[in-house]
């Protein structure tokens, strides 16, 4: 489709004649939530939504006011669409049931309202991650089982990145497409259709302060990347923003690998399977990339709990394959 096509038109045309993808209005409302959050983010230090709430969330992390604001904004903009039977968020301990005053539908929505929260107050890119599944239960409310689903069952996943511009990137299994918010129109306009990740990149993204606690295979892989490459004579460059969405977005467009492996203190790493790893894994596979724990594809993990964590290695397919080789012990330099 032509560059500059509005997100709404793009989705309507893509989902036409696809009764399995009948949640157009839900995506439109998510994009509205993205615009509202972007407006708040852009106010930076002026906004009352900056700073801490003084509470900690289910993960024991300090809750920022923007986390709360974004969480409520997404609930409010999507709960009335008639598409949803329930929602779950990184910031809420339990499932959110659709209020009785609204019609309920066949889908469930999961999201991380603000990913990269520690970067909110310092004007570094942050993001929102979301994912949609078709519900399986048939009662009036969604059940926990509706949410504990393998990532392969996702029907849509996406993120909104609040960076030097605001972008929405999504897939509903028909390629990965990027839209840039035109602030003068207040519309997301098509900027990248059918995004394909390069097979190999020149960047790696990992919090290297965890190096001593990583398992030997991960350490050997990072050591390998720091050596000059036979083809270029240069090592890989390190790029770590500390906002998963921002690191992921760069690697998606430029090629590269992001790693948040487990370590001796947290064998399952830090990132959440349902709200972060699975949605991005769906997107990366649609773009020709790869996502795994190092031993198992992310999309094949059966979640056992809503807030389960998972080691995440994601990016260019040849880079992730190579990392898996080191982790599984088949590549020894």
13-24 exposure pattern, b = at least 16 Cβ within 10 A, e = fewer:
ebbeeeeebebb
User: Residues near 179 by Cβ (< 8 Å), separated by ≥ 6?
Assistant: 7, 10, 31, 167, 168, 169, 188, 189, 190, 191
The stretch near Mg ion (CB under 5 A) out of 12-20, 114-122, 137-145, 290-298 is 114-122
What are the residues binding ligand AHM (CB under 6 A)? 61, 90, 112, 115-117, 207, 242-244, 270
Structure tokens at 14: 């893509």
The nearest distance, CB 182 to ligand AHM, in angstroms, is: 26
Q: Is 91 in the site for Mg ion (CB under 5 A)?
A: no
Q: 3-state DSSP call for residue 194? A: coil
d(C-alpha 49, C-alpha 45), whole Å: 9
Q: Is 285 in the site for Mg ion (CB under 5 A)?
A: no
- Residue 117 interacts with which of ligand AHM, Mg ion, none, CB < 5 to 8 Å by class: ligand AHM
Taking CB under 5 A as the criterion, the residue among 112, 146, 263, 324 binding Mg ion is 112
Q: Cβ closer to Mg ion: 84 or 245?
A: 245
The nearest distance, CB 239 to ligand AHM, in angstroms, is: 12
Q: Cβ closer to ligand AHM: 33 or 190?
A: 33
- Residue 207 interacts with which of Mg ion, ligand AHM, none, CB < 5 to 8 Å by class: ligand AHM
Q: What is the DSSP letter of 144?
A: H
Q: Is 324 in the site for Mg ion (CB under 5 A)?
A: no
Q: Cβ closer to Mg ion: 248 or 326?
A: 248
Q: Cβ closer to ligand AHM: 105 or 262?
A: 262
The nearest distance, CB 66 to Mg ion, in angstroms, is: 13
| Beta-strand pair 176-182/62-64 | unpaired
The stretch near Mg ion (CB under 5 A) out of 108-116, 191-199, 234-242, 280-288 is 108-116
Closest of 322, 308, 204 to residue 262, by C-alpha:
308
d(C-alpha 281, C-alpha 275), whole Å: 11
Q: Is 40 in the site for Mg ion (CB under 5 A)?
A: no
- Residue 125 interacts with which of Mg ion, ligand AHM, none, CB < 5 to 8 Å by class: none
User: Residues near 331 by Cβ (< 8 Å), separated by ≥ 6?
Assistant: 322, 325
Note the Cα 231 to chain centre separation in Å. Answer: 32
- Residue 243 interacts with which of Mg ion, ligand AHM, none, CB < 5 to 8 Å by class: ligand AHM
Q: Is 67 in the site for Mg ion (CB under 5 A)?
A: no
Report which residue's Cβ sits closest to Mg ion.
115
- Residue 29 interacts with which of ligand AHM, Mg ion, none, CB < 5 to 8 Å by class: none
d(C-alpha 302, C-alpha 299), whole Å: 8
User: Residues near 180 by Cβ (< 8 Å), separated by ≥ 6?
Assistant: 165, 166, 167, 188, 189, 191
- Residue 61 interacts with which of ligand AHM, Mg ion, none, CB < 5 to 8 Å by class: ligand AHM
- Residue 56 interacts with which of Mg ion, ligand AHM, none, CB < 5 to 8 Å by class: none
Q: What is the DSSP letter of 270?
A: S
d(C-alpha 90, C-alpha 70), whole Å: 11
Taking CB under 5 A as the criterion, the residue among 29, 115, 263, 319 binding Mg ion is 115
Q: Of 207-246, which residues contact Mg ion (CB under 5 A)?
A: none
Residues that bind Mg ion (rule: CB under 5 A) add up to a total of 2
User: Residues near 221 by Cβ (< 8 Å), separated by ≥ 6?
Assistant: 322, 323, 326, 327
**Could you give phi then psi for residue 132, rounded to 5 degrees?**
-125, 135
Q: Cβ closer to Mg ion: 81 or 128?
A: 128
The nearest distance, CB 191 to ligand AHM, in angstroms, is: 23
- Residues within the interface to Mg ion (CB under 5 A): 112, 115
């Amino acid at each position: 489709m032509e560059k500059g096509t509005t997100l709404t038109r793009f989705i309507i045309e893509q989902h036409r004649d696809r009764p399995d993808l009948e949640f157009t209005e839900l995506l439109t409302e998510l994009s509205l939530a993205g615009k509202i959050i972007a407006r708040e983010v852009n106010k930076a230090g002026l906004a009352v939504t900056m700073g801490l709430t003084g509470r900690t969330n289910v993960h024991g992390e300090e809750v920022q006011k923007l986390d709360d604001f974004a969480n409520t904004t997404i609930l409010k903009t999507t709960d009335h669409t008639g598409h949803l039977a329930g929602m779950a968020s990184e910031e809420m301990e339990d499932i959110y049931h659709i209020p009785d005053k609204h019609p309920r539908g066949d889908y469930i929505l999961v999201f991380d309202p603000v990913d990269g929260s520690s970067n909110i107050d310092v004007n570094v890119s942050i993001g929102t991650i979301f994912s949609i599944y078709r519900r399986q239960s048939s009662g009036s409310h969604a059940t926990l089982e509706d949410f504990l689903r393998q990532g392969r069952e996702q029907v849509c996943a996406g993120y909104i990145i609040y960076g030097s511009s605001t972008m929405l990137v999504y897939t509903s299994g028909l390629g990965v497409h990027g839209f840039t918010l035109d602030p003068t129109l207040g519309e997301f306009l098509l900027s990248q259709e059918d995004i394909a990740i390069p097979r190999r990149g020149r960047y790696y993204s990992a919090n290297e302060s965890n190096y001593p606690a990583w398992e030997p295979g991960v350490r050997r892989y990072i050591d390998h990347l720091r050596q000059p490459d036979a083809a270029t004579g240069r090592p890989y460059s390190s790029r770590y923003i500390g906002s998963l969405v921002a690191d992921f977005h760069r690697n998606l467009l430029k090629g590269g690998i992001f790693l948040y492996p487990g370590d001796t203190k947290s064998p399952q790493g830090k990132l959440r399977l349902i709200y972060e790893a699975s949605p991005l894994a769906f997107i990366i596979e649609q773009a020709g990339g790869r996502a795994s724990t190092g031993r198992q594809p992310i999309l094949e993990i059966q979640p056992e709990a809503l807030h389960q964590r998972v080691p995440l290695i994601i990016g260019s397919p040849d880079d992730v394959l190579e990392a898996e080789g080191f982790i599984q012990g088949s590549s020894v330099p």
